[in-house]
Structure 1
Amino acid sequence: MADSVRAWHPEVPGIREVLHATFSQHAYPAHVHDDWTVLLIDDGAVAYALDRAGHHAVPGTVTLLPPQIPHDGRTAVAGRPFRKRVLYLDREWLPPTSEVAAAREPALRDPRAIGIVAGIHEALRAPGDALAAECGVLALADLARASADGSRLLRTASDAPLARRLRQMLDDRVDESFTIAEAARLLGTHPSHLVRVFSRSYGIPPHRYLTALRVDRARQLLRAGLPAAEVAARAGFHDQAHMSRHFRRVLGAAPGTFAA
């Protein structure tokens, strides 16, 4: 199997770089990153040393490699390639105390972590779902912090006024592109807190609420007889393909089903 590497920088707050790679021969020498490395193994296994201690990264776990800690990497099974997906996240993504915990135990074994990281990569596959990726990064930080201190997920006290303010912002700006980081600055709070409060109040994360609003608006515009390309733009989707993907996910049917 030939080695392959794809890397890019998405316009998502907190994500510095994304890398998808398959390696059959390459072995990483000891090196460091300025950022957090979030590693998901899809096939095979990786043997690596982190701060001179040996570990394995395997499917079914998320590996967190802290900034500035030397690590290497190679296939764990001679002759068998490994396939991985990697997120490089801002150093400020987690507090310094989490760096110490991750250096000691880099495997995040909470089964929810796999779904969150896979969801982030899915959201990054095509333009238009940056808000979903951003919310995923914030949710993963909550899991990682809870794992680092051995506690349950932070239970956010109810803050209905703050949740309502974000909901009003989403309602008013359904056709605009903006980030949770921008919303948090406007509302005077931290992005992670804003997502937790909204999700607790309405039972759905902000990006899914916004997508549902857009699908509903698009359905109404299609029934009014507007062309699909115009509907996608007016409903806040990146393009027609982006609209179609979410129509199928939310409603189980293509947009044309609802056209006048």
Structure 2
Amino acid sequence: MDLISQGDALLEMPLQTGEHARLFTAARFSGLECLSAKFSTHTYSPHAHETYAVGTILEGCELWHARGRKLFARTGDLVFNHPLDVHDGAPSEGGYRYRMTYPTIELMREVAISLTGDQTIGTPFFPEPTVQDPEGSALFSKAHRALEEGGDALAGEEGLLRAYGWCLSRHADLSVREIGREHGPISQARELLEQRYDEDLSLADLTQRSGLPRHHLIRAFRRETGLTPHAYLVDVRVRRARERLRRGESPGAVAAATGFCDQAHLTRAFKARLGVTPGVFRAAHHG
């Protein structure tokens, strides 16, 4: 069986009207391949990858074969293929829509080590190729969509690591340990977010400052503060936006100055935390 990339797998058969497939890469994961697709007739020939395939079904049902079994992946299911697992794929009646990623063994081990504390852990194993997990599906889909849209790089990077952590801790053969307190390192990470809130920070920036690995940092940060690093960063940006709006700056200028992708992103984050839009807040001080 030849090992092929997901792009090559898609090229084996042309898509029909109403179908679509978008393959993109995640730069902060060393070119990790990600797929967003909708199929009604497209079928995959049996093939295997050198990487995992981890994803979710958003709508419909996929019929596939893997590990000597006939399988059905339905809406809200998480799907796991190990490296070198031979598998195919075909739509059931009505087709299906899904999101998929192809993480390396090294990436999955990075997350597994963070969860277990075991530096000698081998290739993580998922006993079941597909599991019904609507909450995990929603977490994965949100992260995947953030990576695809590309506006807030930290949101996608953090989100995908959290999604992989969810999958491994709940559906792989791992013994997960409780996260300890990391007050000193997390204080360093918080300080960086407070100082450079207007920049496009990455988890690499935070790990360099704190000395903690990426996924461990996310878990420890949330235990220490109640927020993930990205959520904390957005909160800092909103606080800085309030200061500028009080001084009479326009919402558009404030969005650009505080690290938001655009005014719409500022408006969503601002209203979610304060209950009013930036324009209304500014008018209350400068009506």
Q: TM-score range by the shorter chain?
A: 0.7 to 0.9
Deviation at 1:191, TM superposition (A): 0.6
Q: Which residues of 2 match residues 77-92 of structure 1 at below 5 A?
A: 77=92, 79-92=93-106
Distance in 2 between residues matched to 1:27 and 1:257, nearest whole Å? 52
Question: Which of 233, 241, 246 in structure 2 is aligned with 1:218?
Answer: 241
Aligned length: 255
Question: Which of 41, 52, 68 in structure 2 is aligned with 1:36?
Answer: 52
Question: Which of 62, 74, 94 in structure 1 is aligned with 2:108?
Answer: 94
Question: Which of 121, 134, 149 in structure 2 is aligned with 1:126?
Answer: 149
Deviation at 1:207, TM superposition (A): 0.6
Deviation at 1:43, TM superposition (A): 1.3
- For structure 2, the 5+ residue unaligned runs are 1-16, 110-120
1:254 corresponds to 2:277: yes
Deviation at 1:145, TM superposition (A): 2.8
Post-superposition Cα deviations, 1:138-183, rounded to whole Å, max 9, x if no partner, equal 22232233231254x4311111111111111111111111111332
Q: Which residues of 2 match residues 7-46 of structure 1 at below 5 A?
A: 7-13=23-29, 16-46=32-62
Q: Which has the higher contact order (CA 8 A, sep 6+)?
A: 1
Deviation at 1:84, TM superposition (A): 1.0
Q: What's the TM-score, normalizing by structure 2?
A: 0.80
Does the aligned pair in 1 maintain the 2:186–2:210 contact within 8 Å?
A: no
Which AA in structure 1 matches 2:61?
A
Question: Which of 188, 195, 198 in structure 2 is aligned with 1:165?
Answer: 188
Distance in 2 between residues matched to 1:202 and 1:114, nearest whole Å? 25
Distance in 1 between residues matched to 2:80 and 2:275, nearest whole Å? 36
Which AA in structure 2 matches 1:30?
P
Distance in 2 between residues matched to 1:52 and 1:187, nearest whole Å? 45
Distance in 2 between residues matched to 1:234 and 1:92, nearest whole Å? 37
Deviation at 1:49, TM superposition (A): 1.6
Does the aligned pair in 2 maintain the 1:15–1:89 contact within 8 Å?
A: no
1:244 corresponds to 2:267: yes
Equivalent position SS for 1:124 = helix
Distance in 1 between residues matched to 2:94 and 2:274, nearest whole Å? 41
Post-superposition Cα deviations, 1:101-123, rounded to whole Å, max 9, x if no partner, equal 23x42224455422321221343
Does the aligned pair in 2 maintain the 1:14–1:137 contact within 8 Å?
A: no
Equivalent position SS for 2:64 = strand
Question: Which of 75, 93, 113 in structure 2 is aligned with 1:59?
Answer: 75
Deviation at 1:60, TM superposition (A): 2.1
Distance in 1 between residues matched to 2:82 and 2:192, nearest whole Å? 35
Deviation at 1:98, TM superposition (A): 4.5
Equivalent position SS for 1:157 = coil
Identity within the alignment, %: 32
Distance in 2 between residues matched to 1:226 and 1:118, nearest whole Å? 36
Distance in 1 between residues matched to 2:216 and 2:183, nearest whole Å? 12
Does the aligned pair in 2 maintain the 1:98–1:148 contact within 8 Å?
A: no
Distance in 1 between residues matched to 2:224 and 2:148, nearest whole Å? 29
CA pair 199-233 structure 1, distance change in 2 beyond 3 A: same
Deviation at 1:89, TM superposition (A): 2.7
Question: Which of 124, 135, 149 in structure 1 is aligned with 2:173?
Answer: 149
Equivalent position SS for 1:175 = coil
1:2 corresponds to 2:18: yes
Distance in 2 between residues matched to 1:253 and 1:68, nearest whole Å? 52
Which AA in structure 1 matches 2:173?
D
Cα-Cα RMSD: 2.3
CA pair 87-51 structure 1, distance change in 2 beyond 3 A: same
CA pair 48-8 structure 1, distance change in 2 beyond 3 A: same
1:188 corresponds to 2:211: yes
